[in-house]
Amino acid sequence: MPLQLPLDLPHRPSLTREDLVVSASNRLPVEAVDRWPDWSHPVLVVCGPPGSGKTHLANVWAERTGAVVARPGMIDAILPHPPFAVVLDDLDRGGFAEKELFALLNAARLGGGSVLATSRVLPTALDFSLKDLRSRLSAATLVQLGAPDDDLLTSVLVKLFSDRQLDVEPGAVRYLAERMERSLDRARQLVAAVDREALATKGRVTRPLMKRVLLAQAEPAEPRHEAVAPDRYATGTMEDD
């Protein structure tokens, strides 16, 4: 019987506060964001590698504050309307003019509002030529996100499978977590691929199915690391197929 080809319908991930999984690897940045409006400085910079959860944190803060997610050319229209709340996502590659960034950060410093910026690199590594802009960024509060730990990665995988209402075999989540890149973005991509494969084969999500997906995604068949799943998630014990 031929495989059923799944419709590639978009599945938009939820980035609300309720969907934010907190573990030891991201607890301090989450607490820093949640501390608003009692920030020690009106500008908070969240740094971390791709897939570490920076954009999710920025979305949580924007949802709470009604912040504008700024795009290049928007800042001049924001400044005349204090108190403002502004997200600068991907500051290291956002394409903003240095003068408009300085104007925003300087206005925030003078009490005009709050700014949350995300970046893959530290502020000191940003290649800005404007000295005053570098000074404003160096004065901002800095928090760093690392790669997700076992608890966070496993919890996110369980939630992503649950959101898609997938029937996952015990042990399959740990099998995937041990072999995948430690990235929340990669977790979303792999769960979407597993969903498509399960729909095409009309089967339960098992370790053999995950193995097929990993091979198709050029992920290693052997563990990259040992993923210790939290006790609240059943992992089961099964032999490899």
Structural domains present in the chain: 17-144 (3.40.50.300), 150-216 (1.10.8.60)
On whether the CB atoms of residues 144 and 33 are closer than 8 A, the answer is no
> Quick one: pLDDT at residue 230?
42
Residue 37, preceding bond cis, omega within 30 degrees? yes
The model's pTM: 0.76
Pairing mode, strands 68-69 and 141-144:
unpaired
Taking only the tens of pLDDT, the chain with its 241 residues reads: 343 434 343 444 555 666 788 888 899 999 999 999 999 999 999 999 888 889 989 999 999 999 999 999 999 999 999 999 999 999 998 789 999 999 999 999 999 999 999 999 999 999 999 999 999 999 999 999 988 888 889 988 998 998 899 989 888 998 999 899 988 889 999 999 999 999 999 888 999 999 999 999 876 555 655 544 444 333 333 334 4
On whether the CB atoms of residues 58 and 91 are closer than 8 A, the answer is no
Q: What is the pLDDT of residue 65?
A: 96
